[in-house]
Amino acid sequence: MTNNIATTPEELIRKEYTAGFVTDIETETFPPGLSEEVVREISRKKAEPEWLTEWRLDALRRWEKMEEPTWAHVKFPSIDYQAISYFAAPKGDKPKSLDEVDPELLRTYEKLGIPLHEQKILAGVEEEPSQPRVAVDAVFDSVSITTTFKETLKEHGVVFCSFSEAVQSHPDLVKKYLGSVVPKTDNFYAALNSAVFSDGSFVYVPKGVRCPMELSTYFRINAENTGQFERTLIIADEGSYVSYLEGCTAPMRDENQLHAAVVELIALDDAQIKYSTVQNWYPGDENGVGGIYNFVTKRGTCRGARSHISWTQVETGSAITWKYPSVILRGDDSIGEFYSVALTNNRQQADTGTKMTHIGRNTKSTIVSKGISAGHSSNAYRGLVRMNPGARNARNYTQCDSLLIGSECAAHTFPYIESRRQDAIVEHEATTTRVSDDQLFMCRQRGIEPEKAVSMIVNGFCRDVFRELPMEFAVEASKLLEVSLEGAVG
């Protein structure tokens, strides 16, 4: 018993990162490198209209003049952007139905526990009517494999398809909203994504429609030396409601892989978007070798009055996380929320948080951030609350808690508040606690083994955030914390 936390390490069985396998499948991969030709080729592969090719090229030219941000509290060797391949896809045409999907791919999703067969879920529904159905868009490297329940959703007027498909089927919506929340020059990684983005999901919920099921996208990186640059666009028209879930995993590799996604949400008058993420990219090994660099730009705009956007994220994976899901509160009486659990173990580094920009009157935002650091990891919350001059009666409540496990990890909090209004109410609460010896001893005295005790204490710490997750995700998130904490005790 050498650590502050008492246990016998030899008794603890180290679980593997269960999603760390590689799918053996023939892949078409672009040679490494980034140039105008590569961008044109991606655009050509997807048979994109001219305007979109130009849009990408413009982003590329601007990106070439930009520099990587260095303000985040993370350290990593510089990335050689010419050593990355910008497109990888299973060989052959896109399957028209599930029957045409390579069985190897189907096995992959089966192993990951992602339902691609609609009837399977439907069968479950008959027995348990309370169980909600989930429609899935499965993105494998640079392309979408399949999207389930499309027909059911269509009956309600809901569009849920891969981004590439939306470019063909709903070009006007794409053209109108693409880059409207995250401009292509917003930041270095967003610009890179704008130039080379491959697949992602597209959602449109028409006026007054409450989406009848949860929508979800499952991102999988498989190919070696590639990056994943997906693009997601969700538009909730007036008075509509949608709940969207996102999950991600990658094989265990010694090289770092780049994931630079952009997600844009648009909520019009009285619309509500609930966006939940359970991020489980490969975090690297205990010495910090390998893992995903997760440099993601996620932003929503409450464009309409009384609109409501909430981000809920559970971040347990990635070697480095650089991510700030934000809300621009433009419409009067709109609401923005950010609920986050970020867990870092071993050598993982996370710099994550949110930005709430209050523009409209009576706008409200809530931030609840729970950072858990274990091992030698570093975990930072970075948040900005901005009250613009027109934001009469705006209010924000921020709660930012850190939990430390062991004595080698670090937690940092960087809250920024910019208020241009006298009447704005901004509250900030922050705490730092550790899993105490007394808590652990009490649990063990009651017969609860140390690992179970830590995971129970951590789950309790995250309760406020887990409450915001859809049921089946809450269970997954809770399990994920257990796996991620393996070896954190002792």
Any contact of residue 12 with other proteins (CB under 8 A)? no
Considering only residues 421 to 440 of the shown chain, the ones binding other proteins according to CB under 8 A are 436-439
Interface mask toward other proteins for 377-396; x: CB under 8 A:
--------------------
Any contact of residue 9 with other proteins (CB under 8 A)? no
Any contact of residue 462 with other proteins (CB under 8 A)? yes
Number of residues counted as binding other proteins (CB under 8 A): 26
Q: Smallest distance from the beta carbon of 461 to other proteins, in angstroms?
A: 6
Any contact of residue 295 with other proteins (CB under 8 A)? no
Closest to other proteins by CB, 123 vs 442, is: 442
How far is it, in rounded angstroms, from Cα 148 to Cα 215?
Answer: 9
Any contact of residue 449 with other proteins (CB under 8 A)? yes
The amino acid sitting at 217 is T
Any contact of residue 58 with other proteins (CB under 8 A)? no
Closest to other proteins by CB, 118 vs 449, is: 449
Any contact of residue 130 with other proteins (CB under 8 A)? no
Q: Smallest distance from the beta carbon of 361 to other proteins, in angstroms?
A: 35
Binding residue (CB under 8 A) for other proteins from 70, 78, 97, 445: 445
Any contact of residue 457 with other proteins (CB under 8 A)? yes
Identify which range of 136-144, 151-159, 333-341, 460-468 contacts other proteins by CB under 8 A: 460-468
Interface mask toward other proteins for 464-483; x: CB under 8 A:
x-------------------
Closest to other proteins by CB, 213 vs 435, is: 435
Closest to other proteins by CB, 168 vs 366, is: 366
Q: Smallest distance from the beta carbon of 444 to other proteins, in angstroms?
A: 4
Sort strands 272-279 and 320-323 into parallel, antiparallel or unpaired: unpaired
Q: Smallest distance from the beta carbon of 257 to other proteins, in angstroms?
A: 34
Q: Smallest distance from the beta carbon of 452 to other proteins, in angstroms?
A: 7
Closest to other proteins by CB, 11 vs 104, is: 11
Binding residue (CB under 8 A) for other proteins from 412, 448, 482, 483: 448
Binding residue (CB under 8 A) for other proteins from 441, 471, 475, 479: 441
Binding residue (CB under 8 A) for other proteins from 54, 176, 460, 471: 460
What is the 3-class SS of the chain, one letter each residue?
A: CCCCCCCCHHHCCCCCCCCCCCCCCCEEECCCCCCHHHHHHHHHHCCCCHHHHHHHHHHHHHHHCCCCCCCCCCCCCCCCCCCCECCEEECCCCCCCHHHCCHHHHHHHHHHCCCCCHHHHHHHHHHCCCCCCEEEEEEECCEEEEECCHHHHHHCCCEEEEHHHHHHHCHHHHHHHCCCCCCCCCCHHHHHHHHHCCCCEEEEECCCCECCCEEEEEEECCCCCECECCEEEEEECCCCEEEEEEEEECCCCCCEEEECCEEEEEECCCCEEEEEEEECCCCCCCCCCCEEEEEEEEEEEECCCCCEEEEEEEECCCCEEEECCEEEECCCCCEEEEEEEEEECCCCEEEEEEEEEECCCCCEEEEEEEEEECCCCEEEEEEEEEECCCCCCCEEEEEEEEEECCCCCEEEEEEEEEECCCCCEEEEEEEEEECCHHHHHHHHHCCCCHHHHHHHHHHHHCHHHHCCCCHHHHHHHHHHHHHHCCCCCC
Closest to other proteins by CB, 3 vs 180, is: 3
Closest to other proteins by CB, 269 vs 401, is: 401
Any contact of residue 463 with other proteins (CB under 8 A)? yes
Sort strands 159-162 and 201-205 into parallel, antiparallel or unpaired: antiparallel
Binding residue (CB under 8 A) for other proteins from 175, 207, 392, 444: 444
Q: Smallest distance from the beta carbon of 489 to other proteins, in angstroms?
A: 13
Q: Which residues bind other proteins (CB under 8 A)?
A: 1, 6, 8, 436-439, 441-450, 452, 456-457, 459-464
